[in-house]
């Protein structure tokens, strides 16, 4: 509509201006014509009564004068007639116009003196009249008096008003006709062709390159469509050639790499796009104080750490909640942007949530309900109906956002985590051809624990709409199979590890997630300088350095870890002033009371233990509480002699694998909770029960005093495992399984 107005507005302005100019000229012409006619009539009437008035004034015939002026009483548009004597005094006047006596009439003296007739408009009360006065002369040319006729001029102005109304009505009708005609013309010659071209572009950018444009012709739009058609042809040929080459390269390689995963996706998916959905976005824009300038950061998240290398290698679309306070400044009209900012490899599409939606869906149902339900950490889950309704609303909002992007041919959608249990079903209802995998990054509880959830059936039905549900370890797969078997009417196929419900089969698989093992290779050349700076800033030279890296969360065993360090220093005082524990802690979900209280509890505990063991400039715990980027964490991995991961319950824990990957010289030791998924793979780690504080303290001593050869042997074994089972192998396993099962 805006474009139509821009197109029509100049025409309307010109037409309106022309109507105003010509209308004004016409009205003035009509006014002049009416006034001339009025003056002519007034003159004719005044001169017509000249003889009668002469006789009356010569004989001073008052009765005759009254009879003369009263003849004008009923005449149309003529207000009245007045006879004046030779001194300018009213001799007789039409009775209905008697108020004329009160008006001052200086022109009467001028007429008597000059003996000339006069016709002029006069203001009388609230309206105007036209008077024509003629002197009455005797035979010797002496003035006997004056005869004046008075006409009502309101009909002139009424006629002009009607004329203006007709002009305005004509203008409005003309403008309306111009709008309709212009809209029709603009629609036919511009809007419809552009709409068809836009629809074709939409199909084209979704990968439907076989579609032919519906626009033909030699005009500019036709030429544009023809050029894009050539691009589509070249792209089809190139993609199919790349797919064949990719299949050949896959068969030649052993270790999964970024390039090999890219080849797999090209071979398996072809023109189909890869879509990832998560709550956390891989890149967010935040305002940095005090400068107030926006900055792009990588948020601390295991999901981001795992998924970002996949899309970086293969491209695709990542749909996520735009949570940064400056995020809207960097998206286009479709809420998209290319990331990473400095080297665009894939598309990030941001979904906007208001405060109420975020509070109910994320902080409420997801993190006060499902999160504690799935983690055995003795934190009671809270389920509120308002949170559940908001959770459903946000899942639908994400489903709508994803559906807008899907190509015509079967796409592959990779949903991340417990935030979107309903998303698979919502997408399948509109696009049953879509291949959907849901990966559950946190543990899955046993059926008795999950049965606490009042919305268990809707959640399970939403998840089972997916084609594959992935967990980190087989134990969680078994828990899910048992949960479905106990709580739903379904059939479990134990040989295929699948669940059949309402004719839909969903496969349950374990895919141990991992990392990009080359992530430490991408550290800047300034890393060693940064390590030296850290050593000097915190007086770490000649110290045994232990490291902890995680979000502040009650599932991470931070309290237990700090207590174990306290007990370690009590039992083994020889390490006082020789041992330092660095804790990189990112605040998380502080809107939730349990997390807010945990922050205060950790602060107080760290302060108390540092005060307890304080000795000169040395304090055992360096507690750095802020968000650290991946590049900022890498030097700490290289610096630490041992890394402590003490999660009370964890789906996998990628910090353990990141630390191992960073130890290029195979030095260092990993102290790892047996309640993490990583403990199933990394059996050479020093495994602990974080609840057993005494044993925990002993294991820290054991890791420190382990012979260098033993440390290197263990670390080499773990590095081989992480290198072979990297993030690209994880993604390849899921994509291969999904494409095989759904015949994408």
Tokens 């598309």, located at residue: 347
Answer whether 367's CB lies under 8 Å from 279's CB. Answer: no
Short-list 650, 632, 651, CA closest to 547: 632
| Torsion angle of the four alpha carbons 452, 457, 462, 464, in this order, in degrees rounded to the nearest 10 | 100
Answer whether 146's CB lies under 8 Å from 112's CB. Answer: yes
SS3 assignment, position 433: coil
Q: pLDDT over 90 for what percent of the chain? A: 49
Answer whether 118's CB lies under 8 Å from 133's CB. Answer: yes
What pLDDT is attached to residue 538?
A: 78
Alpha carbons within 13 A on the beta-carbon side of 295: 11
Cα-flanking dihedrals φ and ψ of residue 317, to 5°? -130, 130
Distances (CA, A) of 451 to 135, 360, 446, 460, 627: 116, 21, 9, 11, 36
SS3 string, 92-120, reads EECHHHHHHHHCCCCHHHHHHHHCCCEEE
What DSSP assignment string belongs to 132-174? EEEEEE-TTS-EEEEEEEEEE-HHHHHHHHHHHHHHHHHHHHH
Burial 412-451 (b: 16+ CB within 10 A, else e): bbbbbbbbbbbbbbbbbeebeebbbbbbbbbbbbebebbe
Tokens 């959830």, located at residue: 453
- How is the beta sheet containing 274-278 ordered, strand by strand? 336-339, 346-351, 317-321, 274-278, 412-416, 435-439, 468-471, 504-510, 498-501, 491-493
Tally of residues, the chain: 744
Answer whether 665's CB lies under 8 Å from 655's CB. Answer: no
Grouped pLDDT means (10 residues each) for the chain, 744 residues: 67 80 81 79 80 82 82 71 85 81 82 85 79 85 85 78 83 82 72 68 58 57 62 52 46 71 76 85 89 84 84 90 93 92 91 96 96 93 97 98 88 95 97 94 96 97 97 96 96 94 95 82 60 79 93 95 97 95 92 92 96 89 89 89 96 94 94 96 97 97 96 96 92 87 58
Tokens 């149902």, located at residue: 365
Tell me the per-residue pLDDT of 65-114, one tens digit each, with 9 for 90 and over.
Answer: 888 878 776 666 777 888 888 888 888 888 777 778 878 888 888 888 88
Tell me the per-residue pLDDT of 437-484, one tens digit each, with 9 for 90 and over.
Answer: 999 999 999 999 999 999 999 999 999 999 999 999 999 999 999 999
Paired strand residues for 349: 319, 336
Q: Which residues contact 278 (CB under 8 A, 6 or more apart)?
A: 303, 304, 307, 318, 319, 320, 415, 416, 417, 419
Tell me the per-residue pLDDT of 636-647, one tens digit each, with 9 for 90 and over.
Answer: 998 999 999 999
| Torsion angle of the four alpha carbons 136, 139, 144, 146, in this order, in degrees rounded to the nearest 10 | 0
SS3 assignment, position 39: helix
Tokens 């081989």, located at residue: 720
What pLDDT is attached to residue 576?
A: 94
Short-list 176, 298, 158, 250, CA closest to 739: 250
Alpha carbons within 13 A on the beta-carbon side of 574: 4
Tell me the per-residue pLDDT of 642-672, one tens digit each, with 9 for 90 and over.
Answer: 999 999 999 999 999 999 999 999 999 999 9
What DSSP assignment string belongs to 212-274? PPS--SSSHHHHHHHHHHHHHHHHHHHHHHHHHHHHHHHHH--S--HHHHHHHHHHHHTTPPE
Short-list 383, 378, 374, 548, CA closest to 471: 374
What pLDDT is attached to residue 197?
A: 66
Taking the C-alpha atoms of residue 445 and residue 459, their distance in angstroms, rounded to an integer, is 14
Taking the C-alpha atoms of residue 697 and residue 7, their distance in angstroms, rounded to an integer, is 79
Radius of gyration over alpha carbons of the chain, in Å?
46
Distances (CA, A) of 242 to 274, 323, 690, 739: 17, 37, 50, 18
What pLDDT is attached to residue 241?
A: 43
Burial 299-312 (b: 16+ CB within 10 A, else e): bbbbbbbbbbbbbb
Taking the C-alpha atoms of residue 34 and residue 160, their distance in angstroms, rounded to an integer, is 10
SS3 assignment, position 318: strand
What H or E segment, with its residue span, contains residue 10?
A: helix 2-48
Taking the C-alpha atoms of residue 307 and residue 317, their distance in angstroms, rounded to an integer, is 12
Short-list 539, 521, 730, 729, CA closest to 637: 521
Taking the C-alpha atoms of residue 489 and residue 502, their distance in angstroms, rounded to an integer, is 9
Answer whether 314's CB lies under 8 Å from 452's CB. Answer: no
Q: Kindly state the DSSP code that residue 526 receives in the 8-state scheme.
A: T
Helix, strand, coil shares of the chain, percent, nearest 5, are 55, 20, 30
């Amino acid at each position: 509509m805006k474009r139509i107005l821009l197109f029509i507005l100049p025409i309307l302005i010109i037409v309106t201006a022309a109507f105003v100019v010509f209308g004004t000229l016409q009205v003035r012409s009509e006014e002049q014509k009416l006034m001339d006619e009025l003056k002519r009539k007034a003159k004719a009437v005044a001169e017509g009564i000249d003889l009668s008035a002469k006789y009356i004034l010569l004989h001073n015939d008052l009765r005759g004068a009254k009879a003369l002026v009263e003849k004008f009483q009923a005449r149309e548009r003529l207000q009245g007639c007045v006879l004046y004597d030779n001194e300018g005094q009213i001799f007789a006047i039409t009775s209905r116009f008697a108020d004329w006596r009160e008006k001052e009439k200086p022109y009467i003296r001028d007429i008597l003196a000059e003996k000339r007739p006069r016709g002029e408009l006069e203001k009388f009360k609230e309206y105007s009249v036209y008077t024509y006065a003629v002197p009455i002369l005797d035979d010797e040319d002496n003035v006997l008096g004056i005869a004046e006729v008075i006409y009502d001029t309101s009909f002139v102005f009424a006629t002009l008003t009607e004329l203006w109304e007709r002009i305005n009505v004509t203008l409005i009708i003309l403008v309306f006709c111009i709008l309709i005609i212009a809209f029709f013309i603009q629609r036919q010659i511009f809007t419809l062709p552009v709409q068809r071209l836009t629809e074709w572009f939409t199909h084209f950018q979704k990968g439907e390159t076989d579609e032919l444009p519906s626009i033909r012709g030699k005009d500019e739009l036709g030429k544009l469509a023809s050029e894009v058609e050539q691009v589509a042809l070249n792209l089809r040929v190139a993609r199919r050639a790349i797919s064949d080459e990719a299949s050949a390269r896959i068969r030649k390689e052993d270790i999964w790499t970024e390039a090999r995963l890219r080849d797999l996706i090209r071979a398996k998916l072809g023109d189909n796009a890869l879509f990832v959905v998560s709550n956390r976005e891989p890149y967010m824009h935040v305002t940095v104080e005090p400068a107030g300038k926006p900055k792009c950061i990588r948020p601390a998240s295991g999901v981001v750490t795992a998924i970002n290398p996949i899309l970086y290698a293969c491209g695709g679309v990542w749909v996520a909640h735009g949570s940064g306070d400056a995020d809207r400044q960097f998206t286009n009209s479709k809420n998209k942007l290319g990331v990473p900012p400095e080297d665009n490899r894939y598309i990030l599409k941001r979904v906007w949530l208001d405060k109420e939606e975020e509070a109910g869906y994320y902080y409420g149902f997801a993190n006060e309900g499902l999160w504690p339900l799935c983690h055995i950490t003795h934190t009671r889950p809270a389920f509120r109906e308002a949170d559940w309704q908001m959770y459903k609303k946000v899942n639908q909002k994400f489903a709508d956002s994803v559906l807008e992007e899907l190509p015509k041919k079967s796409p592959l959608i990779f949903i991340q985590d417990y935030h979107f249990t309903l998303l698979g079903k919502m997408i399948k209802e509109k696009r049953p051809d879509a291949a959907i995998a849901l990966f559950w990054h946190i543990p899955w509880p046993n059926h008795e624990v999950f049965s606490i959830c009042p919305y268990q059936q809707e959640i399970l039905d939403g998840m089972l709409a997916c084609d594959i549900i992935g967990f980190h370890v087989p134990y969680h797969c078994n828990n899910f199979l048992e949960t479905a078997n106990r709580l739903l009417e379904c059939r479990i196929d134990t040989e295929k590890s699948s669940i059949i419900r309402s004719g839909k089969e969903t496969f349950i698989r374990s895919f141990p997630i991992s990392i990009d093992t080359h992530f430490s290779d991408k550290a800047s050349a300034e890393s060693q300088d940064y390590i030296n700076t850290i050593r000097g800033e915190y007086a770490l030279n000649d110290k045994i350095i232990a490291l902890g890296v995680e979000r502040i969360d009650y599932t991470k065993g931070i309290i237990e870890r700090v207590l174990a360090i306290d007990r370690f220093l009590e039992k083994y005082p020889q390490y006082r002033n020789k041992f330092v524990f660095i804790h990189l802690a990112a605040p998380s979900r502080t809107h939730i009371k349990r997390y807010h209280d945990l922050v205060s509890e950790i602060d107080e505990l760290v302060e108390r233990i540092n005060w307890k063991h304080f000795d000169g400039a040395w304090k055992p715990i360096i507690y750095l509480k802020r968000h650290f980027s991946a590049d900022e964490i890498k030097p700490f991995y290289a610096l630490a002699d041992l890394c402590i991961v003490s999660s009370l319950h964890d789906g996998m824990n990628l910090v353990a694998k990141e630390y191992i990957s960073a130890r290029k010289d195979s030095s260092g030791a990993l102290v790892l909770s047996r309640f993490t998924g990583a403990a199933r793979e990394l059996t050479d780690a020093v495994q602990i029960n974080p609840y057993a504080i005494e044993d925990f303290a002993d294991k820290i001593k054991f890791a420190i005093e382990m012979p260098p050869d033993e440390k290197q042997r263990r670390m080499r074994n773990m590095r081989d495992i992480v290198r072979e089972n990297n993030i690209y192998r994880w993604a390849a396993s899921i994509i291969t399984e999904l494409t095989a099962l759904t015949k994408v």
